[in-house]
Structure 1
Amino acid sequence: MTDDTRSQPTPDGDGGAAPEVVVHPGKQELSDAIAARLVTALIDAQAEQDVVQVSLTGGSLGSDLWASVAALPARAAVDWARVEFWWGDERYLPAGDADRNDVQNDAAGLASLPVDPTRIHRVPGPDRSESAEASATAYGEEIRATDAGAFGIMILGVGPDGHIASLFPGHPAQQTTDAIAVAVHDSPKPPPDRVSLTFEALRRSREVWFIVAGADKAEAVANGVADAGPDVNSAAQVKGEERTLWLIDADAATALPTD
Protein backbone atom coordinates (compact mmCIF):
# COMPACT_ATOMS: atom_id res chain seq x y z
CA MET A 1 0.00 0.00 0.00
CA THR A 2 1.32 3.44 -0.88
CA ASP A 3 0.57 6.73 0.75
CA ASP A 4 1.24 10.35 -0.02
CA THR A 5 2.88 12.34 2.77
CA ARG A 6 2.15 16.01 2.16
CA SER A 7 3.92 17.61 5.12
CA GLN A 8 6.47 16.87 7.80
CA PRO A 9 6.49 17.90 11.48
CA THR A 10 8.04 21.22 12.42
CA PRO A 11 7.83 23.17 15.65
CA ASP A 12 4.57 25.07 16.00
CA GLY A 13 4.67 28.54 17.47
CA ASP A 14 1.28 28.09 19.13
CA GLY A 15 2.38 24.98 21.02
CA GLY A 16 2.14 21.37 20.00
CA ALA A 17 3.48 19.60 16.95
CA ALA A 18 2.74 20.99 13.51
CA PRO A 19 0.53 18.83 11.30
CA GLU A 20 1.74 15.91 9.22
CA VAL A 21 -0.63 14.90 6.43
CA VAL A 22 -0.69 11.32 5.15
CA VAL A 23 -3.01 10.54 2.23
CA HIS A 24 -4.27 7.05 1.38
CA PRO A 25 -6.07 6.12 -1.86
CA GLY A 26 -9.53 5.35 -0.47
CA LYS A 27 -11.56 4.93 2.69
CA GLN A 28 -10.92 1.20 3.11
CA GLU A 29 -7.18 1.59 2.58
CA LEU A 30 -7.24 4.45 5.08
CA SER A 31 -9.12 2.41 7.67
CA ASP A 32 -6.72 -0.51 7.30
CA ALA A 33 -3.70 1.80 7.53
CA ILE A 34 -5.00 3.48 10.69
CA ALA A 35 -5.58 0.05 12.24
CA ALA A 36 -2.04 -1.05 11.43
CA ARG A 37 -0.64 2.22 12.76
CA LEU A 38 -2.64 1.89 15.97
CA VAL A 39 -1.60 -1.70 16.61
CA THR A 40 2.05 -0.80 16.01
CA ALA A 41 1.82 2.24 18.27
CA LEU A 42 0.27 0.18 21.07
CA ILE A 43 2.93 -2.53 20.81
CA ASP A 44 5.69 0.09 20.93
CA ALA A 45 4.10 1.97 23.83
CA GLN A 46 3.57 -1.20 25.87
CA ALA A 47 7.28 -1.94 25.64
CA GLU A 48 7.85 1.22 27.69
CA GLN A 49 4.80 1.64 29.93
CA ASP A 50 2.24 -0.43 31.76
CA VAL A 51 -1.02 1.05 30.49
CA VAL A 52 -1.66 3.06 27.31
CA GLN A 53 -4.42 5.68 27.33
CA VAL A 54 -6.36 5.87 24.05
CA SER A 55 -9.32 8.10 23.24
CA LEU A 56 -11.68 6.99 20.47
CA THR A 57 -14.02 8.72 18.07
CA GLY A 58 -17.44 8.07 16.59
CA GLY A 59 -18.52 8.34 12.98
CA SER A 60 -18.35 5.77 10.21
CA LEU A 61 -14.55 5.83 9.95
CA GLY A 62 -14.21 5.62 13.72
CA SER A 63 -16.18 2.37 13.57
CA ASP A 64 -14.51 1.09 10.38
CA LEU A 65 -11.21 1.33 12.22
CA TRP A 66 -12.32 -1.40 14.65
CA ALA A 67 -13.46 -3.68 11.87
CA SER A 68 -9.99 -3.28 10.37
CA VAL A 69 -8.27 -3.94 13.71
CA ALA A 70 -10.38 -7.06 14.28
CA ALA A 71 -9.25 -8.40 10.88
CA LEU A 72 -5.57 -7.69 11.51
CA PRO A 73 -3.51 -10.73 12.60
CA ALA A 74 -0.98 -8.46 14.35
CA ARG A 75 -3.67 -7.45 16.86
CA ALA A 76 -2.68 -10.56 18.83
CA ALA A 77 0.64 -8.92 19.71
CA VAL A 78 -1.16 -6.21 21.71
CA ASP A 79 -1.89 -6.83 25.39
CA TRP A 80 -5.40 -5.43 25.19
CA ALA A 81 -5.83 -5.77 28.95
CA ARG A 82 -3.27 -2.96 29.29
CA VAL A 83 -5.09 -0.46 27.07
CA GLU A 84 -7.38 2.12 28.68
CA PHE A 85 -10.18 3.31 26.38
CA TRP A 86 -12.04 6.63 26.49
CA TRP A 87 -14.15 8.63 24.04
CA GLY A 88 -13.58 12.23 22.97
CA ASP A 89 -17.31 12.77 23.08
CA GLU A 90 -20.59 10.94 23.42
CA ARG A 91 -24.20 11.57 22.59
CA TYR A 92 -26.21 11.98 25.77
CA LEU A 93 -28.27 8.84 25.25
CA PRO A 94 -28.92 5.77 27.43
CA ALA A 95 -26.44 2.91 27.56
CA GLY A 96 -26.94 0.54 24.64
CA ASP A 97 -28.58 3.14 22.37
CA ALA A 98 -27.59 2.40 18.77
CA ASP A 99 -26.68 6.06 18.17
CA ARG A 100 -24.02 6.13 20.90
CA ASN A 101 -20.40 6.19 19.71
CA ASP A 102 -19.36 3.44 22.12
CA VAL A 103 -22.14 1.11 20.93
CA GLN A 104 -21.15 1.63 17.29
CA ASN A 105 -17.45 1.02 18.06
CA ASP A 106 -18.34 -2.14 20.00
CA ALA A 107 -20.48 -3.50 17.18
CA ALA A 108 -17.77 -2.81 14.60
CA GLY A 109 -15.13 -4.88 16.38
CA LEU A 110 -13.99 -3.32 19.65
CA ALA A 111 -16.13 -5.75 21.67
CA SER A 112 -14.41 -8.71 19.99
CA LEU A 113 -11.04 -7.84 21.51
CA PRO A 114 -9.90 -9.17 24.92
CA VAL A 115 -10.14 -5.78 26.61
CA ASP A 116 -10.48 -5.50 30.38
CA PRO A 117 -14.06 -4.17 30.83
CA THR A 118 -12.91 -2.02 33.76
CA ARG A 119 -10.59 -0.17 31.37
CA ILE A 120 -13.41 0.87 29.02
CA HIS A 121 -14.68 4.22 30.25
CA ARG A 122 -18.10 5.13 28.91
CA VAL A 123 -19.72 8.54 29.25
CA PRO A 124 -22.80 8.27 31.50
CA GLY A 125 -26.12 8.76 29.73
CA PRO A 126 -29.49 9.85 31.13
CA ASP A 127 -29.95 6.37 32.64
CA ARG A 128 -26.90 6.96 34.85
CA SER A 129 -26.85 10.72 35.43
CA GLU A 130 -29.38 13.45 36.06
CA SER A 131 -28.13 15.78 33.33
CA ALA A 132 -25.47 16.23 30.68
CA GLU A 133 -23.69 18.57 33.10
CA ALA A 134 -23.59 15.84 35.76
CA SER A 135 -22.34 13.38 33.16
CA ALA A 136 -19.53 15.74 32.09
CA THR A 137 -18.50 16.25 35.72
CA ALA A 138 -18.48 12.50 36.41
CA TYR A 139 -16.51 11.75 33.25
CA GLY A 140 -13.93 14.40 34.08
CA GLU A 141 -13.57 13.03 37.60
CA GLU A 142 -13.11 9.52 36.24
CA ILE A 143 -10.34 10.72 33.95
CA ARG A 144 -8.60 12.43 36.87
CA ALA A 145 -9.00 9.40 39.13
CA THR A 146 -7.50 7.11 36.50
CA ASP A 147 -4.54 9.39 35.94
CA ALA A 148 -5.50 9.76 32.29
CA GLY A 149 -5.04 13.51 32.24
CA ALA A 150 -2.58 12.92 29.41
CA PHE A 151 -3.58 10.58 26.60
CA GLY A 152 -1.11 8.54 24.61
CA ILE A 153 -3.22 8.60 21.44
CA MET A 154 -6.18 10.88 20.79
CA ILE A 155 -8.19 9.78 17.74
CA LEU A 156 -10.58 12.41 16.38
CA GLY A 157 -12.95 12.44 13.45
CA VAL A 158 -13.63 15.76 11.72
CA GLY A 159 -17.04 16.86 10.45
CA PRO A 160 -17.68 18.69 7.17
CA ASP A 161 -18.17 21.83 9.29
CA GLY A 162 -14.78 21.34 10.95
CA HIS A 163 -16.07 20.12 14.32
CA ILE A 164 -14.19 17.61 16.43
CA ALA A 165 -15.64 15.63 19.35
CA SER A 166 -18.77 17.72 20.03
CA LEU A 167 -17.01 21.07 19.82
CA PHE A 168 -18.64 22.83 16.88
CA PRO A 169 -17.14 25.97 15.30
CA GLY A 170 -18.47 29.03 17.05
CA HIS A 171 -20.46 27.04 19.61
CA PRO A 172 -20.27 28.32 23.23
CA ALA A 173 -18.96 24.92 24.41
CA GLN A 174 -15.69 25.76 22.64
CA GLN A 175 -15.03 28.45 25.22
CA THR A 176 -15.05 26.12 28.24
CA THR A 177 -11.84 26.34 30.26
CA ASP A 178 -10.54 24.76 33.46
CA ALA A 179 -12.55 21.60 32.82
CA ILE A 180 -11.91 18.19 31.31
CA ALA A 181 -15.40 17.65 29.91
CA VAL A 182 -18.34 19.89 29.08
CA ALA A 183 -22.06 19.45 28.48
CA VAL A 184 -23.08 20.50 24.97
CA HIS A 185 -26.64 21.67 24.29
CA ASP A 186 -28.26 22.80 21.05
CA SER A 187 -25.78 20.81 18.99
CA PRO A 188 -26.02 21.67 15.27
CA LYS A 189 -26.25 17.91 14.67
CA PRO A 190 -28.73 15.63 16.43
CA PRO A 191 -29.04 14.67 19.15
CA PRO A 192 -28.94 18.16 20.69
CA ASP A 193 -27.44 17.07 24.03
CA ARG A 194 -23.92 15.67 24.20
CA VAL A 195 -20.85 15.44 26.42
CA SER A 196 -17.44 16.37 25.04
CA LEU A 197 -13.87 16.66 26.16
CA THR A 198 -12.72 20.28 26.08
CA PHE A 199 -9.98 21.74 23.94
CA GLU A 200 -7.75 21.75 27.03
CA ALA A 201 -8.29 18.03 27.58
CA LEU A 202 -7.87 17.13 23.90
CA ARG A 203 -4.55 18.98 23.77
CA ARG A 204 -3.15 16.94 26.65
CA SER A 205 -2.31 14.11 24.25
CA ARG A 206 1.10 12.86 23.20
CA GLU A 207 -0.23 12.17 19.70
CA VAL A 208 -3.40 13.50 18.05
CA TRP A 209 -4.70 11.63 15.00
CA PHE A 210 -7.36 13.28 12.84
CA ILE A 211 -8.95 10.56 10.68
CA VAL A 212 -10.98 11.82 7.74
CA ALA A 213 -12.51 10.38 4.57
CA GLY A 214 -14.72 11.92 1.89
CA ALA A 215 -14.77 14.88 -0.46
CA ASP A 216 -17.42 16.60 1.68
CA LYS A 217 -14.72 17.08 4.32
CA ALA A 218 -11.98 18.41 2.04
CA GLU A 219 -12.50 22.05 3.01
CA ALA A 220 -12.54 21.15 6.71
CA VAL A 221 -9.23 19.31 6.28
CA ALA A 222 -7.64 22.23 4.45
CA ASN A 223 -8.80 24.70 7.12
CA GLY A 224 -7.66 22.42 9.91
CA VAL A 225 -4.18 21.97 8.50
CA ALA A 226 -3.95 25.72 7.79
CA ASP A 227 -4.74 26.70 11.41
CA ALA A 228 -8.06 28.44 10.73
CA GLY A 229 -9.73 30.19 13.67
CA PRO A 230 -12.17 28.55 16.10
CA ASP A 231 -15.22 30.09 14.42
CA VAL A 232 -14.23 28.31 11.21
CA ASN A 233 -12.58 25.08 12.32
CA SER A 234 -12.35 23.32 15.68
CA ALA A 235 -9.75 20.78 14.58
CA ALA A 236 -7.20 23.53 14.03
CA GLN A 237 -7.33 24.33 17.75
CA VAL A 238 -5.89 20.97 18.82
CA LYS A 239 -2.39 19.59 18.32
CA GLY A 240 -0.53 16.71 19.90
CA GLU A 241 2.30 17.44 22.27
CA GLU A 242 4.67 15.29 20.21
CA ARG A 243 2.83 14.57 16.98
CA THR A 244 -0.21 15.78 15.04
CA LEU A 245 -1.31 13.45 12.24
CA TRP A 246 -3.93 14.03 9.58
CA LEU A 247 -4.70 10.57 8.23
CA ILE A 248 -6.99 11.11 5.26
CA ASP A 249 -8.13 9.58 2.00
CA ALA A 250 -7.58 11.06 -1.46
CA ASP A 251 -11.06 12.59 -1.61
CA ALA A 252 -10.53 14.45 1.66
CA ALA A 253 -7.20 15.80 0.35
CA THR A 254 -8.57 17.57 -2.71
CA ALA A 255 -8.54 21.08 -1.19
CA LEU A 256 -4.97 20.81 0.11
CA PRO A 257 -2.05 22.48 -1.66
CA THR A 258 -0.24 19.99 -3.88
CA ASP A 259 3.31 21.20 -3.15
Structure 2
Amino acid sequence: MTNERRVLVHPDKEALAASVAARFLTKTIDILDDLGAANIALTGGTMGIAVLEAVNGSPARDTIDWSKVHFWWGDERFVEKSSEERNERQAREALLDHLPVPPENIHPFPASDEIPDIEEAASVYAAELQAFAPEGQAFPKFDITFLGVGPDGHIASLFPDRAGIRETEATVIVERESPKPPPQRLSLTRPVLNASDRIWLVLSGSDKASALGLALAGASYTEVPVAGAKGRKRTVFFVDKDAAVDVPENLIAPSY
Protein backbone atom coordinates (compact mmCIF):
# COMPACT_ATOMS: atom_id res chain seq x y z
CA MET A 1 0.00 0.00 0.00
CA THR A 2 1.46 3.33 -1.01
CA ASN A 3 1.13 6.65 0.77
CA GLU A 4 1.70 9.43 -1.72
CA ARG A 5 1.54 13.17 -1.19
CA ARG A 6 0.94 15.09 -4.38
CA VAL A 7 0.28 18.70 -5.25
CA LEU A 8 -1.92 19.46 -8.25
CA VAL A 9 -1.91 23.11 -9.31
CA HIS A 10 -4.79 24.77 -11.17
CA PRO A 11 -4.90 28.20 -12.81
CA ASP A 12 -7.73 29.64 -10.69
CA LYS A 13 -10.50 28.84 -8.21
CA GLU A 14 -13.04 27.94 -10.87
CA ALA A 15 -10.74 25.46 -12.59
CA LEU A 16 -9.77 24.07 -9.19
CA ALA A 17 -13.37 23.39 -8.14
CA ALA A 18 -14.25 21.86 -11.50
CA SER A 19 -11.21 19.58 -11.50
CA VAL A 20 -11.78 18.29 -7.97
CA ALA A 21 -15.47 17.71 -8.73
CA ALA A 22 -14.66 15.70 -11.84
CA ARG A 23 -12.08 13.60 -10.02
CA PHE A 24 -14.48 13.02 -7.13
CA LEU A 25 -17.18 11.69 -9.42
CA THR A 26 -14.75 9.40 -11.23
CA LYS A 27 -13.20 8.09 -8.03
CA THR A 28 -16.58 7.52 -6.38
CA ILE A 29 -17.63 5.36 -9.33
CA ASP A 30 -14.41 3.36 -8.92
CA ILE A 31 -14.96 2.96 -5.17
CA LEU A 32 -18.53 1.76 -5.64
CA ASP A 33 -17.39 -0.72 -8.30
CA ASP A 34 -14.70 -2.05 -5.97
CA LEU A 35 -16.42 -1.94 -2.58
CA GLY A 36 -20.14 -1.59 -3.24
CA ALA A 37 -20.44 1.40 -0.88
CA ALA A 38 -18.57 4.59 -0.04
CA ASN A 39 -18.04 6.79 3.00
CA ILE A 40 -17.24 10.41 2.21
CA ALA A 41 -16.26 13.04 4.79
CA LEU A 42 -17.11 16.60 3.73
CA THR A 43 -15.68 19.94 4.71
CA GLY A 44 -17.04 23.48 4.67
CA GLY A 45 -15.38 26.70 3.60
CA THR A 46 -15.43 28.56 0.33
CA MET A 47 -13.63 25.92 -1.73
CA GLY A 48 -15.24 22.94 -0.03
CA ILE A 49 -18.68 24.22 -0.95
CA ALA A 50 -17.53 25.34 -4.42
CA VAL A 51 -16.50 21.74 -5.13
CA LEU A 52 -19.94 20.46 -4.08
CA GLU A 53 -21.61 23.02 -6.30
CA ALA A 54 -19.42 21.86 -9.19
CA VAL A 55 -20.38 18.24 -8.50
CA ASN A 56 -24.03 19.24 -8.57
CA GLY A 57 -23.57 20.99 -11.90
CA SER A 58 -21.75 18.10 -13.55
CA PRO A 59 -23.50 15.98 -16.22
CA ALA A 60 -21.85 12.96 -14.56
CA ARG A 61 -23.63 13.55 -11.27
CA ASP A 62 -26.52 11.21 -12.08
CA THR A 63 -24.29 8.32 -13.19
CA ILE A 64 -23.65 7.46 -9.53
CA ASP A 65 -25.89 5.31 -7.35
CA TRP A 66 -26.07 7.76 -4.45
CA SER A 67 -28.03 5.29 -2.33
CA LYS A 68 -24.73 3.52 -1.71
CA VAL A 69 -22.88 6.64 -0.53
CA HIS A 70 -22.73 7.81 3.10
CA PHE A 71 -21.82 11.41 3.89
CA TRP A 72 -20.09 12.54 7.07
CA TRP A 73 -18.36 15.76 8.15
CA GLY A 74 -14.85 16.40 9.37
CA ASP A 75 -16.04 19.18 11.65
CA GLU A 76 -18.99 21.42 12.37
CA ARG A 77 -19.79 24.77 13.93
CA PHE A 78 -21.86 24.19 17.08
CA VAL A 79 -24.74 26.49 16.20
CA GLU A 80 -28.46 26.08 15.56
CA LYS A 81 -29.60 23.64 12.87
CA SER A 82 -30.91 26.43 10.65
CA SER A 83 -27.78 28.58 10.89
CA GLU A 84 -26.14 29.54 7.63
CA GLU A 85 -22.80 28.96 9.35
CA ARG A 86 -23.37 25.20 9.58
CA ASN A 87 -21.28 23.17 7.16
CA GLU A 88 -24.21 20.77 6.94
CA ARG A 89 -26.64 23.42 5.73
CA GLN A 90 -24.18 24.72 3.14
CA ALA A 91 -23.49 21.20 1.86
CA ARG A 92 -27.19 20.38 1.63
CA GLU A 93 -27.92 23.53 -0.36
CA ALA A 94 -24.91 23.04 -2.63
CA LEU A 95 -25.36 19.33 -3.36
CA LEU A 96 -27.02 16.92 -0.96
CA ASP A 97 -30.56 18.26 -1.34
CA HIS A 98 -30.24 17.67 -5.09
CA LEU A 99 -29.27 13.99 -4.79
CA PRO A 100 -31.39 10.88 -4.20
CA VAL A 101 -29.48 10.09 -1.02
CA PRO A 102 -31.46 8.23 1.66
CA PRO A 103 -31.77 10.44 4.77
CA GLU A 104 -30.16 7.72 6.88
CA ASN A 105 -27.02 7.99 4.71
CA ILE A 106 -26.38 11.58 5.80
CA HIS A 107 -24.63 11.87 9.15
CA PRO A 108 -24.43 15.49 10.37
CA PHE A 109 -23.01 16.54 13.71
CA PRO A 110 -25.71 17.49 16.25
CA ALA A 111 -26.75 21.14 16.28
CA SER A 112 -26.87 23.28 19.41
CA ASP A 113 -30.69 23.40 19.38
CA GLU A 114 -30.85 19.60 19.10
CA ILE A 115 -28.37 18.77 21.87
CA PRO A 116 -27.52 21.94 23.83
CA ASP A 117 -24.61 20.38 25.75
CA ILE A 118 -21.60 20.29 23.46
CA GLU A 119 -19.89 17.44 25.32
CA GLU A 120 -23.02 15.32 24.92
CA ALA A 121 -23.16 16.29 21.25
CA ALA A 122 -19.59 15.02 20.81
CA SER A 123 -20.52 11.73 22.49
CA VAL A 124 -23.56 11.34 20.25
CA TYR A 125 -21.47 11.77 17.10
CA ALA A 126 -18.84 9.37 18.40
CA ALA A 127 -21.62 6.82 18.91
CA GLU A 128 -22.88 7.43 15.36
CA LEU A 129 -19.39 6.78 14.01
CA GLN A 130 -19.13 3.55 15.95
CA ALA A 131 -22.58 2.40 14.84
CA PHE A 132 -21.39 2.42 11.22
CA ALA A 133 -17.90 1.07 11.91
CA PRO A 134 -16.64 -2.43 11.10
CA GLU A 135 -16.87 -4.80 14.04
CA GLY A 136 -14.32 -3.95 16.68
CA GLN A 137 -13.60 -0.50 15.23
CA ALA A 138 -14.60 2.94 16.53
CA PHE A 139 -15.39 4.60 13.20
CA PRO A 140 -16.04 3.75 9.56
CA LYS A 141 -13.25 3.73 7.01
CA PHE A 142 -13.58 6.90 5.00
CA ASP A 143 -12.82 6.42 1.33
CA ILE A 144 -12.36 10.15 0.66
CA THR A 145 -12.00 12.87 3.27
CA PHE A 146 -12.15 16.46 2.08
CA LEU A 147 -10.28 19.04 4.12
CA GLY A 148 -9.90 22.77 3.83
CA VAL A 149 -6.88 24.58 5.22
CA GLY A 150 -6.85 27.84 7.14
CA PRO A 151 -4.17 30.51 6.77
CA ASP A 152 -2.89 29.31 10.15
CA GLY A 153 -2.66 25.76 8.83
CA HIS A 154 -5.66 24.37 10.71
CA ILE A 155 -7.65 21.45 9.30
CA ALA A 156 -11.20 20.55 10.32
CA SER A 157 -11.41 22.35 13.69
CA LEU A 158 -7.96 21.22 14.81
CA PHE A 159 -6.02 24.42 15.45
CA PRO A 160 -2.30 25.05 16.03
CA ASP A 161 -1.02 24.45 19.54
CA ARG A 162 -4.44 23.38 20.85
CA ALA A 163 -5.37 20.20 22.69
CA GLY A 164 -7.50 18.97 19.78
CA ILE A 165 -4.61 18.44 17.36
CA ARG A 166 -2.81 16.34 20.01
CA GLU A 167 -5.77 14.10 20.85
CA THR A 168 -5.14 10.47 19.97
CA GLU A 169 -7.75 8.51 21.96
CA ALA A 170 -11.12 10.16 21.27
CA THR A 171 -12.76 10.14 17.85
CA VAL A 172 -14.53 13.49 18.32
CA ILE A 173 -13.24 16.55 20.17
CA VAL A 174 -14.86 19.71 21.48
CA GLU A 175 -13.31 23.07 20.63
CA ARG A 176 -14.78 25.78 22.86
CA GLU A 177 -12.60 28.73 21.87
CA SER A 178 -11.96 28.56 18.15
CA PRO A 179 -9.60 31.33 16.95
CA LYS A 180 -12.16 32.05 14.23
CA PRO A 181 -15.88 32.42 14.88
CA PRO A 182 -18.12 30.82 15.82
CA PRO A 183 -16.09 29.77 18.87
CA GLN A 184 -17.70 26.40 19.63
CA ARG A 185 -16.90 23.54 17.26
CA LEU A 186 -17.00 19.77 17.01
CA SER A 187 -14.31 17.95 15.06
CA LEU A 188 -13.02 14.54 14.15
CA THR A 189 -9.57 13.91 15.55
CA ARG A 190 -6.35 13.47 13.59
CA PRO A 191 -6.25 9.64 13.94
CA VAL A 192 -9.76 9.39 12.48
CA LEU A 193 -8.95 11.72 9.60
CA ASN A 194 -5.70 9.91 8.86
CA ALA A 195 -7.42 6.52 8.80
CA SER A 196 -9.07 7.68 5.56
CA ASP A 197 -7.85 5.97 2.41
CA ARG A 198 -7.61 9.31 0.63
CA ILE A 199 -7.31 12.80 2.04
CA TRP A 200 -8.02 15.55 -0.45
CA LEU A 201 -7.05 19.04 0.68
CA VAL A 202 -8.53 21.84 -1.41
CA LEU A 203 -7.13 25.32 -0.95
CA SER A 204 -6.84 28.56 -2.86
CA GLY A 205 -5.47 32.02 -2.36
CA SER A 206 -2.12 33.53 -1.45
CA ASP A 207 -3.08 33.58 2.24
CA LYS A 208 -2.80 29.77 2.24
CA ALA A 209 0.64 29.65 0.59
CA SER A 210 2.69 29.85 3.77
CA ALA A 211 0.79 27.08 5.54
CA LEU A 212 1.06 24.83 2.49
CA GLY A 213 4.76 25.51 2.10
CA LEU A 214 5.43 24.78 5.77
CA ALA A 215 3.38 21.58 5.66
CA LEU A 216 5.29 20.23 2.68
CA ALA A 217 8.60 21.27 4.23
CA GLY A 218 7.95 19.01 7.21
CA ALA A 219 6.68 21.40 9.87
CA SER A 220 5.40 20.01 13.16
CA TYR A 221 1.72 19.10 12.90
CA THR A 222 1.05 20.54 16.36
CA GLU A 223 2.20 23.92 15.05
CA VAL A 224 0.88 23.52 11.48
CA PRO A 225 -1.90 20.92 11.65
CA VAL A 226 -2.11 20.44 7.89
CA ALA A 227 1.41 19.01 8.03
CA GLY A 228 -0.09 16.03 9.85
CA ALA A 229 -2.77 15.21 7.28
CA LYS A 230 -1.80 11.90 5.68
CA GLY A 231 -4.25 9.48 4.11
CA ARG A 232 -3.56 5.75 4.23
CA LYS A 233 -3.24 5.46 0.47
CA ARG A 234 -2.90 8.97 -0.85
CA THR A 235 -2.84 12.60 0.20
CA VAL A 236 -3.53 15.13 -2.53
CA PHE A 237 -3.29 18.91 -2.28
CA PHE A 238 -5.54 20.47 -4.91
CA VAL A 239 -4.48 24.11 -5.09
CA ASP A 240 -4.62 27.16 -7.30
CA LYS A 241 -1.54 29.05 -8.48
CA ASP A 242 -1.80 31.65 -5.72
CA ALA A 243 -1.64 29.01 -3.01
CA ALA A 244 1.23 27.17 -4.69
CA VAL A 245 3.86 29.91 -4.74
CA ASP A 246 5.90 28.29 -1.92
CA VAL A 247 5.62 24.70 -3.16
CA PRO A 248 8.89 23.13 -4.36
CA GLU A 249 8.78 22.28 -8.07
CA ASN A 250 9.64 18.64 -7.43
CA LEU A 251 6.45 18.15 -5.44
CA ILE A 252 4.10 19.47 -8.12
CA ALA A 253 2.50 16.65 -10.10
CA PRO A 254 1.81 16.98 -13.81
CA SER A 255 -1.66 18.31 -14.58
CA TYR A 256 -4.33 15.93 -15.78
TM tier relative to shorter chain: over 0.9
Structure 1 residue aligned with 2:64: 78
Give the TM-score taking structure 2 as reference length.
Answer: 0.92
Structure 2 residue aligned with 1:123: 109
- Preserved contact between residue 149 and residue 204 of structure 1 (Cα < 8 Å): no
Alpha-carbon distance between aligned partners in 2 of 1:244 and 1:37, rounded to the nearest angstrom: 14
Alpha-carbon distance between aligned partners in 2 of 1:258 and 1:230, rounded to the nearest angstrom: 22
Q: After the TM superposition, list the runs of 4 or more consecutive aligned residues in structure 1 that deviate by more than 4 angstroms.
A: none
Post-superposition CA distance 1:48-100 (Å, at most 9, x none):
12220000000011111111011111111111111100000000011121100
Alpha-carbon distance between aligned partners in 2 of 1:50 and 1:142, rounded to the nearest angstrom: 21
Residue of 208, 231, 234 corresponding to 2:225: 234
How far did residue 142 of structure 1 move? 0.4
Alpha-carbon distance between aligned partners in 1 of 2:88 and 2:111, rounded to the nearest angstrom: 11
Alpha-carbon distance between aligned partners in 1 of 2:130 and 2:224, rounded to the nearest angstrom: 28
Structure 1 residue aligned with 2:121: 135
Residue of 33, 38, 45 corresponding to 1:59: 45
Tell me whether 1:22 sits opposite 2:17 in the alignment: no
Structure 2 residue aligned with 1:49: 35
Alignment: residue pair count: 245
Q: What does 1:155-170 correspond to in 2, within 5 Å?
A: 155-170=146-161
Provide structure 2 residue ranges, at least 5 long, that are not aligned to the other structure: 134-138, 251-256
Structure 2 residue aligned with 1:6: none
The one-letter code of the counterpart of 2:40 is V
Name the SS of the counterpart of 2:197 in structure 1. Answer: strand
How far did residue 29 of structure 1 move? 0.3
Alpha-carbon distance between aligned partners in 2 of 1:82 and 1:67, rounded to the nearest angstrom: 20
The one-letter code of the counterpart of 1:159 is G
The one-letter code of the counterpart of 1:162 is G
Name the SS of the counterpart of 2:214 in structure 1. Answer: helix
Tell me whether 1:106 sits opposite 2:92 in the alignment: yes
- Preserved contact between residue 137 and residue 182 of structure 1 (Cα < 8 Å): no
User: In terms of mean alpha carbon deviation, does 141-150 or 179-188 score higher?
Assistant: 141-150
How far did residue 104 of structure 1 move? 1.1
Alpha-carbon distance between aligned partners in 2 of 1:169 and 1:70, rounded to the nearest angstrom: 33
Alpha-carbon distance between aligned partners in 1 of 2:38 and 2:112, rounded to the nearest angstrom: 29
How far did residue 132 of structure 1 move? 1.6
Provide structure 1 residue ranges, at least 5 long, that are not aligned to the other structure: 1-9, 12-16
Name the SS of the counterpart of 1:125 in structure 2. Answer: coil
Alpha-carbon distance between aligned partners in 2 of 1:58 and 1:250, rounded to the nearest angstrom: 21
The one-letter code of the counterpart of 1:175 is R
Alpha-carbon distance between aligned partners in 1 of 2:38 and 2:27, rounded to the nearest angstrom: 10
How far did residue 130 of structure 1 move? 3.3
Name the SS of the counterpart of 2:35 in structure 1. Answer: coil
Structure 1 residue aligned with 2:209: 218
Q: How much identity, in percent, do the aligned residues show?
A: 40
Name the SS of the counterpart of 1:164 in structure 2. Answer: coil
Name the SS of the counterpart of 1:159 in structure 2. Answer: coil
The one-letter code of the counterpart of 2:8 is V
Q: CA RMSD in A?
A: 1.4
Post-superposition CA distance 1:125-144 (Å, at most 9, x none):
12121322111111111011
Alpha-carbon distance between aligned partners in 2 of 1:60 and 1:30, rounded to the nearest angstrom: 12
Residue of 34, 54, 76 corresponding to 2:20: 34
Alpha-carbon distance between aligned partners in 2 of 1:225 and 1:86, rounded to the nearest angstrom: 27
